Structure 1
Amino acid sequence: MNYRHAFHAGNHADVLKHMVLLALLDALLRKDAPFFVLDTHAGRGRYLLQGEQAGRTAEAATGILQLLGLDDPPPVVGRYLRAVAAGNPVDALLTYPGSPLLVAQAMRAQDRLAACELQPEEAAALKTLFAHDARVAVHARDGYDAIRALLPPRVDGVRIARGLVLVDPPYEAQDEEYPRVARAVREALERWPQASCAIWYPIKLRRSLQPFFRKLEALPARSLLLAELLVRPDDSPLRLNGSGMAILNAPWKLDEAIAPALPVLQRRLGEPGASTRLEWLKRDTL
């Protein structure tokens, strides 16, 4: 695998993905009972926006940086901006948090995160980041294989009923990745039926995703919600025109939390022809 997320940190896909992730975490935080998060493709956890890789592509300039200084943002956008700012100096954005760091920032003492990363250098950085956080277990292993080993989750022999499986692969070989995602999420839901599962997916040509969505609809979940941001028309198979989050077993009122944010993201991050989508493919919310 050659993918390195540092080249894309803070881009429009990260904005959507992490905004939805935080909305999911906030839903879990409404109850006192502990929750567990499995991040199957965790990356290194924190990215230098002025580093060589992020600086080379400068994708944050058309992503997170377009939202700074936003007046009166919708609550879910404001929540996201505060979470990104938490690890930075006042009035400066030097680093961007990956999904495991955002999860760890949101967790309480009773909550747990298992972060999986297969690439050795990224996994080593992730272990360093969480070296002193006993709530976080870093696994230098394939995240799909970890589903069988780590679910259903237990802490000190006690099963954790609530939680989230986040699946965010690089899609380097898309013909292989989409079926693998569907199989992995099926196994996660069979092993841990109460969990929400959130899958990030790239959009180049949206119509090409229909077989994937049909596979997701067939999974043993009560609901399936899609949230998408296209920053340009999806008429080029060679560009990342947008991305989406597919949420199975979506928490109650998740769509209502996300809905006000999508027009803001379209306006601030989009080019002419940008669009959004928020649609239930199955609906029986928790």
Structure 2
Amino acid sequence: MLAYRHAFHAGNHADVLKHTMLGMVLRYMNQKDKPYRLVDTHAGAGGYSLEGRYAQKKGEFEQGIGRLWERDDLPEAVANYVDAVRSFNPGGALEQYPGSPAFAQMLLREQDQARFYELHPTDYRILEAYLGKTKHMQVMNADGFEGLKSQVPPSTRRALVLMDPSYEGTADYGKVIASLRDALTRFAEGVYMVWYPQVQKVEAAQLPRRLEALAPKGWLHARLTVQEPDSQGFGLAGSGVFILNPPYTLHDELLTVLPYLVDVLGQYDEAEYLLEQRAS
């Protein structure tokens, strides 16, 4: 797991879906004055150079944020996402991509809290230098699955947990389920947001149904499929976001967002989206 570097994938189609939805959920939570805690279990470096050798190796951002950068027909939620990336690039050119902690910093209010976990030593040092001294934010070089146990329930009784491990092997799928099951016993009212890759693994295909079984008060599942696997069946065809206890407004907002992203990010004729939910 410590070999994984998100810099190779920063700004790709999976980041577009994840960070657009993260912004939507954070904006919803900001509608109430009461503070909340964000827990990011696999935070990464906080920001990534799109001109560096990692991002340039496959240029994945060109098929993600790159396809949205110059468009003037963006739905509101996608426009908010692109505006956030623009604020991370004050020179006007697309040179840097913000990670989840940077998106969170843009949207969290003074009364809110953030707890960022990152195990990779280099990414941790970058994130610590970036946000470690920011008021109400803590950056920890620790396992986010384990760290979550100490973060819920928060004293505010409001929380959003973002869980997006690398899923490089198969162990992370089971850890997601075990960690969420434990968290829900501690704090069933929290909002839990899980990103997962659409890849040729049984565990990936089974994960949404396993998450459904955990949801005590309803769930929402969004998936974006944009490209075909390679000739051997490998590659990231798309990705999904599963939310336990989702904002009630999210489903209807995504009815505009997801078809748009299919049209703009789709790389083959069968590109599609899935949107399903179970209300509490």
For Structure 1 versus Structure 2, the TM-score category normalised by the shorter chain is: over 0.9
CA distance in 2, matches of 1:162, 1:230: 32
Q: CA-to-partner distance for each residue in 1:100-128, whole Å, 9 max, x for gaps?
A: 11011101100010000011111111000
- Residue 184 of structure 2 corresponds to 189
Can you give the 5+ residue segments of structure 1 that lack an aligned partner in the other structure? 154-158
For normalisation by structure 2, the TM-score amounts to 0.94
1:241 counterpart = 2:242: no
Gaps of 5+ in 2: none
Quote the Cα distance in structure 2 between the aligned partners of 1:182 and 1:40. Answer: 13
What residue in structure 2 maps to residue 270 of structure 1?
A: 266
Partner of 2:218: 223
Using structure 1 for the length normalisation, give the TM-score: 0.92
Contact 2:35 2:156 in 1 (8 A): yes
For residue 76 of structure 1, report the CA deviation from its aligned partner. Answer: 0.6
Contact 1:186–1:220 (8 Å) recurs in 2: no
Identify the residue that residue 156 of structure 1 maps to in structure 2.
none
Deviations 1:137-195 (A, max 9, x none): 00110000001122212xxxxx1111200000000112x22111011111122212211
Of the structure 1 ranges 114-123 and 259-268, higher mean CA displacement relative to structure 2 is found in 259-268
Q: 1:258 to 1:90 in 2, by over 3 A?
A: farther
Residue-by-residue CA offset, 1:196-226 (whole Å, 9 max, x unaligned)? 1010000024876443223212214211111
Letter in 2 for 1:115: F
Distance in 2 (alpha carbons) for counterparts of 1:212 and 1:131: 33
The correspondence for 1:167, drawn from 160, 163, 167, is: 163
Q: Secondary structure at the match of 2:161?
A: strand
Partners in 2 of 1:32 and 1:8 — Cα distance? 35
User: What is the RMSD computed on CA atoms of the aligned residues?
Assistant: 1.6
Q: Is residue 217–residue 224 contact of structure 1 (8 Å, CA) maintained in 2?
A: yes
Q: Distance in 1 between matches of 2:66 and 2:241?
A: 21
Match of 1:151 in 2: 152
Q: Residue deviations 1:248-277, cap 9 Å, x none? A: 100111111222111111111111221111
1:134 aligns with 2:135: yes
Q: Percent identity?
A: 39
Offset of residue 131 of structure 1: 3.4
Q: How many residues align?
A: 277
- Does the 8 Å contact 1:190/1:220 carry over to 2? no
- On the 8 A contact 1:203/1:234 being kept in 2, the answer is no
Query: 2:82 aligns to what SS in structure 1?
Result: helix
How far off is 1:90 after superposition?
A: 4.5
Distance 2:172 2:264 in 1: 31
Map 1:15-94 → 2, pairs under 5 A: 15-94=16-95
- Conserved 8 A contact 1:11-1:59: yes
* Range with bigger deviation, 110-119 or 90-99: 90-99
